[in-house]
Structure 1
Amino acid sequence: MNREEKNRQTRAKILAGATAEFAMHGYEAASLNTVCLSGGISKGIIYHYFESKDVLYLACLEECFHSLTEYLKEHLTGEAEQEDPLAAYFSARLDFFHTHEDYARIFCGAVIFPPACLQSKIADIRRDFDEVNDNCLRKILRNRKLRSDLTEEEIIRAFRMMQDSLNASYHHPSEDGLDLARHEKDCRTLVNIFLYGILKREE
């Protein structure tokens, strides 16, 4: 095995252990000592590849958001997505989270409990993911008649504000921790209300 491949494998091993630790305990409570013990890696080796806990956390987030974004791009195609983009989006997102539980937890930690000192960097990391969300909304709005006093960009901005409000409501999880399925259901419900309202139209 050449040095480049060994470096790649060591880095991947550190990221896998750190992702599990951040997913389980969150950014604040996560311990690099635990990552060392679980992976049989010295702290010196970790700092050789990642100069700080912050850098390691952001690298884990980057892997998470990249994997999720690429999965959504790959699966948001075909007849189902064309017929009901909203249902297709949440179905793909839940499928990803069900098969990547650590990513599900670290994702929720980043969008619901982002470390204040890293918020701008997290925003940069999730930019492609946010673009996928925006594009999904644009597909729903396409060929629909919008209110004359609202532009598409204003609607997207309001959509993001609504998402932020939902995530803020989860800042105090129950003793059992964050209920991902409930969060996703609430997110889908709010998007549905945002788009279609709550009042039944008279026939």
Structure 2
Amino acid sequence: MAILPIRIWGDPVLHAPAESVETVTEEIRALVADMYETMDAAPGVGLAAPQVGVGLRIYTYAYEDDEGSPWRGEIINPELWMTPTEPGDPDPDTESEGCLSFPGESFPLRRSDRVVVTGSDLEGEPVRIEVSGWRARIMQHEFDHLDGTIYIDRISERDWKTAQKISKKRGWGRPGSSWIPGIDDVDA
């Protein structure tokens, strides 16, 4: 297993729809193992294959709730259904999120509170996840990556302008930008 470089906003793989996985091969299994290691090292609660430069419809997730119950897995070729999003502005205290591909920052974003995700696991077995709250947010965030959308593409215009200033200051927004968890300091 290896910790992979995480692509930063502006890299083309992050802005293009990912391709379906036709067959789970040993290379796909190795990729997923590396994605878990990279996600854990970052640390993150989810990681999509495009974030490590691979344009395939795969993501991993890991979240521990307030009671300490772990929730971890991978989804290949997911499909997402969600309840309508509540109208109004997001609460910056309870609805902010960040992204490993726009590291060190967070912005408020309204998401659906309930989702259902279907797909398969590494064994080809069907996966069906029905979740709410932060788990639903994680599913939507990672699914967006597979469609070439990063959460900052969805934030308010005012926050978008702030994100653009941050990106320019840090030299992001161009092909080839990446960071390696445990090696690079991306919060500077």
Larger helix share, 1 or 2:
1
| Bigger Rg, structure 1 or 2 | 1
Looking at both structures, which has the greater relative contact order when contacts are Cα pairs under 8 Å and sequence separation is at least 6? 2
